[in-house]
Amino acid sequence: MEYLLQNFNVNFHYQVHFTSQLFSPDNNCLRAYLESQAVHTHLKKILVVLDQGMASHHEGLPQQIASYLKTIKGFELAPEILTIAGGEGVKNDLPLFLNLVNAIDKYKIDRHSYLIGIGGGSLLDLVGFVAAVSHRGVRHIRIPTTVLSQNDSGIGVKNGINFNGKKNFLGAFAPPQAVFNDSRFLTTLEKRDWNSGMVEAVKVALIKDAAFFEWMESRAVALSQGDMADMQELIYRCAALHMQHIGNGGDPFESGSSRPLDFGHWSAHKLEQLTNFELRHGEAVSIGVALDSVYSYLLGWLSENDMQRIIAVLKNMQLPVWHPLLERQDGKDSPVIAGLEEFREHLGGQLTVSLLKNIGQGADVHEMNLEKLYEAAAITKTMQ
């Protein structure tokens, strides 16, 4: 049978900037980027979606943003800044998603205009998905405002919302045009959000960079107590490792089943759902990292000493390592461990879970021993 073969490559590139007080009149970072993208034939448009919590904690922020963006040559700011609630709830709100799509239409944000999201990872996931599906792709800029979004979710290529009780069931891979990390936004974070955001750095160090893990091991207490200089270094190094994997790992849009950056996440996603997102994402990932580290130890891959070091770092960062839902409930299987099947479905058929051969060396497995998982959960319970 005759057939035609189509084959082409698409080159993506974007910069992640690190700055402070991004919208100060004398900060040229965002202005210089946007003006480099301007064209002389017509004005491009900008629509901003802002986390309500940021607006509340940073007095006058919407006005400051508007004043700054109105000075950028070649661009026209939409008449209003859309201020919405932050947090995981926005990813469960389908009417909100449609309202933002309608705003793209209302303000005539075309494929050459920009949608800017300013907030935590959940808001950025939502805004990125709105950009990805409107006009089959509107350019979007991310301005992450939490530790978790500055070092992981905000600098990657994933966007999405939750659907039918399943995390990120609807979504798209759509790289941002640029990312701007403003350290000043971290100063108003709740302690839980400050601490829980660090676990993605622990995760990526465990699978890729032993020296980075050792650095965090030595600085864990200072980090949990709010040391900003250490946090800026953690965010930079974590972001660099994530970007390196996305760009050089050979599967940026996760066409296959291997997802080493999801170490500790198979149980975390289920824990978030089962607790109605009472657990922060980072807290759930911390529990997942602890569980899979102990499981790696039970397989004989990870030494007992290294397993204990990992648990100690998480605890020194004031993060949880266990949850009651990891136990059997009234004689039935743990709903978290039962969620392995759902994770397999999410991956597309073959179960692939990242574990640890050593600190700094991840490895994939395609099956999990349920009794060993319960044993691992029991061990983490004693170490909490």
- Got the DSSP string for 164-176? TTEEEEEEEE---
Q: What would the pLDDT profile of 17-51 be if each residue is shown by its tens digit?
A: 999 999 999 999 999 999 999 877 788 999 999 99
271: Cα separation from own chain's centroid:
16
What pLDDT was estimated at residue 199? 97
How confident is the prediction for the chain on average, in pLDDT? 93
Kind plus residue range of the DSSP H or E element containing 156:
none
Q: What would the pLDDT profile of 209-241 be if each residue is shown by its tens digit?
A: 999 999 999 999 999 999 999 999 999 999 999
pLDDT tops 90 at residue 255: no
What are residue 69's phi and psi, to 5 degrees? Answer: -70, -25
Question: How many Cα atoms within 13 Å fall on the side-chain side of residue 279?
Answer: 24
Strands 15-19 and 361-365: unpaired
What pLDDT was estimated at residue 38? 86
Distance CA 345, CA 342 (A): 5
| Contact between 113 and 45 (Cβ < 8 Å) | yes
Distance CA 300, CA 335 (A): 26
pLDDT mean over 313-323: 98
What pLDDT was estimated at residue 84? 97
Question: How many other C-beta atoms lie within 10 A of the C-beta of residue 99?
Answer: 14
pTM for this model (two decimals): 0.92
CA distances (Å), 99 to each of 96, 104, 107, in order? 5, 9, 12
What pLDDT was estimated at residue 302? 97
Sign of CA dihedral 281, 282, 287, 292: positive
133: Cα separation from own chain's centroid:
20
pLDDT mean over 247-275: 80
| Contact between 317 and 224 (Cβ < 8 Å) | yes
Q: Which residues pair with 117 in a beta bridge?
A: 49, 142
| Contact between 69 and 77 (Cβ < 8 Å) | yes
What pLDDT was estimated at residue 337? 87
Instruction: Enumerate residues 6+ apart whose C-beta is below 8 A from 158.
Output: 125, 128, 168, 171, 173
What pLDDT was estimated at residue 258? 54
pLDDT mean over 115-125: 97
pLDDT mean over 9-22: 94
| Contact between 311 and 319 (Cβ < 8 Å) | no
Burial of 14 (0-12, 13-18, 19+ CB in 10 A): middle
pLDDT tops 70 at residue 259: no
Burial of 101 (0-12, 13-18, 19+ CB in 10 A): middle
What pLDDT was estimated at residue 179? 98
